[in-house]
């Protein structure tokens, strides 16, 4: 029996590089996975690849109506979700002098509003689950940059720091109300992805940049999407039943 057999998961930003790894790992562990994304073509293709364990739901994470519709679709199809992974994110490198108010607002909308709305609708859906069931789990993607700000990323670092404390608030509320819902903030470091490659300085190569980044953590390499997906699969399972309201770094030791 796989450790997530019978569980229902929704992954926002499921069609992206990291989202694909998360969806695939949760499905491999037995969960039914709703691939939620604004990119319908990629999202449907991924959901189809998961077979009976996959479902595509259209989702603009900044829209309250879209979140409501996505949760309703999953609930009508399979039942209320047991797992939410707030994975959708946005990054545009621009220091405080370069960044515009529009940059700030878009980052906060996708990273901040999107995570807030996901938590809000997930709690409403999950609290109706049977009390005898395994705990519901909300996993919010923060970042190692939510602990230490970086000069090129004022908006991104601020949004990811906000997600950490939002996660604590949600976890404490659910505990106080007896909802049997855990919440955890996963803190990826430098993970091989389109988002990481946005940071490659002009005139530098990917290999040079990755070598530099690898030297900033204890493991000595850039992380893989599977590293984050493996951690999320663990946190979503009963094996992590005593973990809630905390940060869970997946950063190769870069924040030590």
pLDDT band at 203 (very low <50, low <70, confident <90, very high): confident
The answer to whether residue 205 is domain-embedded is no
pLDDT band at 129 (very low <50, low <70, confident <90, very high): confident
| pLDDT value for 128 | 85
pLDDT in tens, 133-151: 789 999 999 999 999 888 9
Q: Is the pLDDT of residue 163 over 80?
A: yes
Number of structural domains (the chain) is 1
Q: Given its phi and psi angles, is residue 13 left (phi above 0), alpha (psi -120 to 50 degrees) or beta?
A: left
Q: Is the pLDDT of residue 154 over 90?
A: yes
For residues 167 and 184, the answer to whether their CB atoms sit within 8 Å is yes
Mean pLDDT value across residues 159-165? 98
At 92, which CATH number? 3.40.50.720
Mean pLDDT value across residues 96-108? 97
pLDDT band at 122 (very low <50, low <70, confident <90, very high): very high
Q: Is the pLDDT of residue 43 over 80?
A: yes
Say what percent of the chain tops pLDDT 90. Answer: 92
Q: Is the pLDDT of residue 225 over 90?
A: yes
pLDDT band at 8 (very low <50, low <70, confident <90, very high): very high
The answer to whether residue 134 is domain-embedded is yes
Q: Is the pLDDT of residue 108 over 80?
A: yes
User: What is the pTM (predicted TM-score) of this model?
Assistant: 0.96
DSSP calls for 126-184? HTTS-TTSPPEEEEEE--GGGTS--TT-HHHHHHHHHHHHHHHHHHHHHHHHT--EEEE
Mean pLDDT value across residues 81-107? 97
The answer to whether residue 196 is domain-embedded is no
Mean pLDDT value across residues 48-67? 98
| pLDDT value for 149 | 87
The answer to whether residue 220 is domain-embedded is no
- Cα–Cα dist 213/236, whole Å: 29
Residue 43, number of CB atoms within 10 A of its CB: 27
- Residue 209 among the catalytic residues: no
Average per-residue pLDDT for the chain:
96
Mean pLDDT value across residues 48-75? 98
| Catalytic residue chosen out of the listed positions 156, 179, 209, 210 | 156
| pLDDT value for 201 | 87
| pLDDT value for 134 | 85
- Cα–Cα dist 68/193, whole Å: 29
The answer to whether residue 209 is domain-embedded is no
Mean pLDDT value across residues 169-181? 97
The answer to whether residue 214 is domain-embedded is no
Q: Is the pLDDT of residue 132 over 80?
A: no
| Residue 84 belongs to domain spanning | 8-191+225-243
- Cα–Cα dist 37/15, whole Å: 6
The answer to whether residue 208 is domain-embedded is no
């Amino acid at each position: 029996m796989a450790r997530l057999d019978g569980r229902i998961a929704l992954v926002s930003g499921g069609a992206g590089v990291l989202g694909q790894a998360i969806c695939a790992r949760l499905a491999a562990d037995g969960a039914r996975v709703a691939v939620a994304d604004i990119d319908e073509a990629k999202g449907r293709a991924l959901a189809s690849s998961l077979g009976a364990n996959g479902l595509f739901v259209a989702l603009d994470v900044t829209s309250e109506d879209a979140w409501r519709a996505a949760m309703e679709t999953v609930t009508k199809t399979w039942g209320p979700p047991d797992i939410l992974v707030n994975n959708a994110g946005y990054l545009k490198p621009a220091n405080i002098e370069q960044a515009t108010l529009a940059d700030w607002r878009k980052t906060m909308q996708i990273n901040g509003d999107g995570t807030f709305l996901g938590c809000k609708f997930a709690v409403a859906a999950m609290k109706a689950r049977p009390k005898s069931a395994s705990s519901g789990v909300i996993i919010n993607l923060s970042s190692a940059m939510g602990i230490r700000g970086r000069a090129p990323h004022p908006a991104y670092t601020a949004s990811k720091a906000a997600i950490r404390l939002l996660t604590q608030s949600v976890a404490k509320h659910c505990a106080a109300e007896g909802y049997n819902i855990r919440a955890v903030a996963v803190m990826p470091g430098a993970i091989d992805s389109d988002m990481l490659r946005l940071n490659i300085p002009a005139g530098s190569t990917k290999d040079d940049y990755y070598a530099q980044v690898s030297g900033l953590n204890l493991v000595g390499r850039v992380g893989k999407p599977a590293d984050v997906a493996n951690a999320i699969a663990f946190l979503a399972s009963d094996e992590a039943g005593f973990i809630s309201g905390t940060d869970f770094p997946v950063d190769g030791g870069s924040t030590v």
